[in-house]
Amino acid sequence: MSLTQAPMRRFSNLLYRRPNLYLAMLLIPPLIWFGAIYLGSLLTLLWQGFYTFDDFTMAVTPDLTLANFAALFQPSNFDIILRTLSMAIVVSLASAIVAFPIAYYMARYTTGKTKAFFYIAVMMPMWASYIVKAYAWTLLLAKGGVAQWFVQHLGLEPLLQFVLGIPGVGGSTLSTSHLGRFMVFVYIWLPFMILPIQASLERLPPSLLQASADLGAKPRQTFMQVILPLSVPGIAAGSIFTFSLTLGDFIVPQLVGPPGYFVGGMVYAQQGAIGNMPMAAAFTLVPIVLIAVYLSIVKRLGAFDAL
Amino acid sequence: MSAHKTALLSALTTALLASASLQAAEPLKAVGAGEGQLDIVAWPGYIERGESDKAYDWVTGFEKETGCKVNVKTAATSDEMVSLMAKGGYDLVTASGDASLRLIVGKRVQPINTALIPNWKTIDPRLKDAPWYVVGQQTYGTPYQWGPNVLMYNTNVFKTAPTSWNVLFEAQNLPDGKPNKGRVQAYDGPIYIADAALYLKSTKPELGIQSPYELTETQYKAVLDLLRAQQPLIHRYWHDTTVQMSDFKNEGVVASSAWPYQVNGLINEKQPIASTIPKEGATGWADTTMLHSEAKHPNCAYKWMDWSLQPKVQGDVAAWFGSLPAVPAACTGSELLGAEGCKTNGFDQFDKIAFWKTPQAEGGKFVPYSRWTQDYIAIMGGR
């Protein structure tokens, strides 16, 4: 008995006398996981961006160069970055506009069962596989599909043709246009915008609205000067999701929309098709930088208080 | 004494192991007993054991006869196949011509001893010594299936088959009087540059294109110019067969390069679709069953390579996949394929096909595949 207990007792005494050791033992395993496996692999990946890719032998050599990062600014590569970034911004704006009324209604006018219904209705699309939804949209937007049927029966075909003719918005048909891709993105990421806005609106004390009304503010003034500013953190939090998810997506751009890669598709093509790991690694840096910039902007808007 | 014995034994074992591993680098001298297992990387639908349709089963019989349990890992693209083989742990791969040279140069696959494959002599003479699997007089694997990249078209628009690929490459009015802009598709892969090169080979003979996979800088530039002019006409660059089939049904697409697989699928759905190989010829793919350089089950692998060349197996695969057998006897040896199956899928068109192979620089003479990839990405993006 005493033989087996003695080392244990000494060990516990040691831990008691040195609380820092105790803490270190608790924290080191997760820190190794995060530091070595997560950050380590990420840094290794980025480090490969400095390697040289030889066009003739199609082999990667560890000679350091900045050529890959410089190549990001070649017109065709820079196109890809601009294409992805502008889509991410537009999708975030549109999601916020669509999500706000829904979130507002959920937060202010529903209770109990109705509220549960709305929660489920918002979450339900997330139960279905993302790929199934994207494929379904290719059929919805097709020339013989539901969307066009409505357009035809409402007599809006000339309008659609006009919209499809606008450069930067249109394309040869709805499912191969920028507009179509934009609609699919907004649909797929909408729940990620609704929930944070709803959370921030729910936290808004009703007394503030009453005070605003008592002081003679019209509903529009209350909305513009009380509700909207206080819900900005929620909108910003939601836009983190919509922005970064659009930035990293490579399946929707493949299935819907005009030709031309997004950053994700480009990384996949460089790494998968030609084994040009250095160029793929250089492209990986793009979303990291963009999201870092974006996060620093929304942090000022207080997004992290609403998560 | 016993210590000495142990040392001697371990030295002997090491020597034996070393010689065994040396031997593995050489082609097998004789096929021994099966190892009881076989791991294959294959295209979806290439290795069927009757799970999708009972009639299509060419694995169960092999397992019964040889005792080699077959595990299949399907891969959707040539690139995925190359990366799976690089990872290792597989014995065989059904590699297309745009992957096979990469596997050979990367030393992922080993040459085989054709004398150990009794069915070798039945192979279509047209496929023997083809450059996508025979390198430096060494044979890397057995041919499995081949097929053309056809011009698929809508018969309501084209009352007679289009005779040239120019319906895809040049802006023009189609027989129904409407322009082809937004109603044609091209393949979403850099290997499609070869299709454009093949078209220029006959329409612009002054460029002197010999092979669409070996392009000099001037030829390459002319090909890219053609593809740039084609970009505004394209409805979508396709790579997903399901999406392409739905585009022909629902999106008003009327002509595109395609595989017999989509053509057969749409005809089975009673769509007004047919296919042709225009006068310029066509690109195509020829797949080879290749043996991994560190295959753990070489005996089973040799047994499979022989088995896969049986007329019935070859014919059944061709019927299931819409491809063509590497063994001519298969055209009459499979009920599933039927008497006309080979003709329908294009057996007589072999000479018109420029088979896929990975473009290589060959010391700077030609534009390599990595440039093809980068430039095709730029063209699809409208540059």
Residue pLDDT, tens place only, A272-286: 766 788 999 999 999
Find, among A228, A229, A239, A225, the residue nearest to A196 by Cα: A239
- Could you give the CA distance from residue B230 to residue B169 in angstroms, rounded to a whole number? 5
Q: Are B90 and B41 within 8 A, CB to CB? A: yes
- Tokens 């109705």 belong to A114
Tokens of B52: 């999708």
* Residue A10 amino acid letter: R
Whether CATH 1.10.3720.10 fits A67-305 = yes
Closest CA–CA distance from residue A98 to any residue of chain B (Å): 29
Inform me whether the pLDDT recorded for B298 exceeds 60: yes
- Could you give the CA distance from residue B380 to residue B377 in angstroms, rounded to a whole number? 5
> Chain B contact for A167, CB < 8 A?
no
- Could you give the CA distance from residue A177 to residue A133 in angstroms, rounded to a whole number? 18
The CATH 3.40.190.10 portion of chain B extends over 20-147+285-352, 149-284+358-380
Residue in A58, A259, A275 closest to B380 by CB: A259
Inform me whether the pLDDT recorded for B18 exceeds 50: no
Inform me whether the pLDDT recorded for B279 exceeds 70: yes
pLDDT score, position B17: 44
Buried b (16+ CB within 10 A) or exposed e, B70-101: bebebbebbbebbebbeeeebbbbbbbbbbbb
Find, among B56, B31, B46, the residue nearest to B336 by Cα: B56
What CATH code is assigned to B20-147+285-352?
A: 3.40.190.10
pLDDT score, position A138: 87
Select from B249, B251, B369 the residue whose CB has the most chain A CBs within 10 Å, as the one to mutate to test that interface: B251
Inform me whether the pLDDT recorded for B16 exceeds 60: no
pLDDT score, position B342: 87
pLDDT score, position B280: 93
**How do residues A81-128 score in pLDDT, each as one tens digit?**
999 999 999 999 999 999 999 999 999 899 889 999 999 999 998 888
Could you tell me the pLDDT band of residue B23, with boundaries at 50, 70 and 90? very low
| Mean pLDDT calculated for residue range B208-221 | 94
**What is the CB neighbour count within 10 angstroms for residue A166?**
12
A115 vs A269: which has the higher pLDDT = A115
Buried b (16+ CB within 10 A) or exposed e, A169-201: ebbbbbbbbbbbbbbbbbbbbbbbbbbbbbbbb
| Mean pLDDT calculated for residue range B127-139 | 90
Q: Are A224 and A270 within 8 A, CB to CB? A: no
Buried b (16+ CB within 10 A) or exposed e, A49-70: bbbebebeebeeeeeeeeebbe
| Mean pLDDT calculated for residue range A62-85 | 92
pLDDT score, position B344: 81
pLDDT score, position B67: 93
- Could you give the CA distance from residue B211 to residue B355 in angstroms, rounded to a whole number? 10
Buried b (16+ CB within 10 A) or exposed e, A13-37: eeeeeeeeeeeeeeeeeeeeeeeee
Residue in B189, B247, B381 closest to A79 by CB: B381
**What is the CB neighbour count within 10 angstroms for residue B38?**
27
Inform me whether the pLDDT recorded for B227 exceeds 70: yes
Length of chain B: 383
Pairing label, strands B273-276, B255-258: unpaired
| Mean pLDDT calculated for residue range B237-262 | 89
Closest CA–CA distance from residue A135 to any residue of chain B (Å): 8
The CA dihedral of B112, B116, B117, B122, to the nearest 10 degrees, is 100
Q: Are B132 and B101 within 8 A, CB to CB? A: yes
Work out the burial of residue B216: count CB atoms within 10 Å of its CB; fewer than 13 is exposed, 13-18 middle, 19 or more buried: middle
Average pLDDT, chain A: 88
**What is the CB neighbour count within 10 angstroms for residue B129?**
9
- Tokens 């298969």 belong to B330
pLDDT score, position A214: 93
Classified as helix, coil or strand, A17 is helix
| Mean pLDDT calculated for residue range B60-86 | 87
Find, among A143, A130, A142, the residue nearest to A252 by Cα: A130
Could you tell me the pLDDT band of residue A57, with boundaries at 50, 70 and 90? low
Ramachandran sector of residue B348 (left: φ over 0; alpha: ψ -120 to 50; beta: rest)? alpha
Beta bridge partners of B154: B273
Can you spell out the DSSP letters for B163-174?
-STHHHHS--B-
Tokens of B243: 């999406």
Buried b (16+ CB within 10 A) or exposed e, B131-144: ebbbeeeebbbbbb
**How do residues B161-195 score in pLDDT, each as one tens digit?**
999 999 999 999 999 999 999 899 999 888 899 99
* Residue A284 amino acid letter: T
Length of chain A: 307
Select from B250, B269, B365 the residue whose CB has the most chain A CBs within 10 Å, as the one to mutate to test that interface: B250
- Could you give the CA distance from residue B157 to residue B139 in angstroms, rounded to a whole number? 46
What is the distance in angstroms between the CA of the first residue and the CA of the last residue of chain A? 53
> Chain B contact for A221, CB < 8 A?
no
Inform me whether the pLDDT recorded for B310 exceeds 90: yes
Domain boundaries, chain A: 2-48, 67-305
pLDDT score, position A189: 95
Chain B CB contacts of A258 below 8 Å: 236
ipTM of the complex model: 0.73
- Report the CATH superfamily, name and number, of domain B149-284+358-380: Periplasmic binding protein-like II (3.40.190.10)
Classified as helix, coil or strand, B279 is coil
> Chain B contact for A261, CB < 8 A?
yes
Per the confidence metrics, is the pTM higher than 0.80?
Answer: no
Average pLDDT, chain B: 87
Chain B CA closest to residue A135: B243
Inform me whether the pLDDT recorded for A287 exceeds 60: yes
Could you tell me the pLDDT band of residue B209, with boundaries at 50, 70 and 90? very high
Whether residue B382 and residue A56 make contact (CB cut-off 8 A), yes or no, is no
Chain A CB contacts of B242 below 8 Å: 135
Residue B91: phi and psi, rounded to 5, are: -100, -45
Whether residue B240 and residue A255 make contact (CB cut-off 8 A), yes or no, is yes
**How do residues A14-31 score in pLDDT, each as one tens digit?**
888 888 888 888 899 899
Q: Are A185 and A130 within 8 A, CB to CB? A: no
pLDDT score, position B24: 44
Inform me whether the pLDDT recorded for B355 exceeds 80: yes
pLDDT score, position A273: 65
- Could you give the CA distance from residue A41 to residue A37 in angstroms, rounded to a whole number? 6
Classified as helix, coil or strand, A136 is helix
Tell me the three-class secondary structure of B116-183, residue by residue: HCHHHHHCCHHHCCCCCCEECCEECCEEEEEEECEEEEECCCCCCCCCCCHHHHCCCECCCCCECCCC
Residue in B183, B250, B369 closest to A139 by CB: B250
% of chain A residues with pLDDT over 70: 94
Whether residue A143 and residue B252 make contact (CB cut-off 8 A), yes or no, is yes
Tokens of A93: 């704006």
% of chain B residues with pLDDT over 90: 57
- Please enumerate residues of B whose Cβ is less than 8 A from a Cβ of A: 77, 79-80, 82-83, 102, 181-183, 188-190, 231, 234-237, 239-240, 242-243, 246-247, 249-252, 361, 363-364, 368-371, 373-374, 377-378, 380-383
* Residue B340 amino acid letter: E
Q: Are B276 and B161 within 8 A, CB to CB? A: yes
Tokens of B250: 């629902």
A19 contact partners, CB below 8 Å, separation of at least 6:
none
Find, among A251, A99, A128, the residue nearest to A190 by Cα: A99
A4 contact partners, CB below 8 Å, separation of at least 6:
none
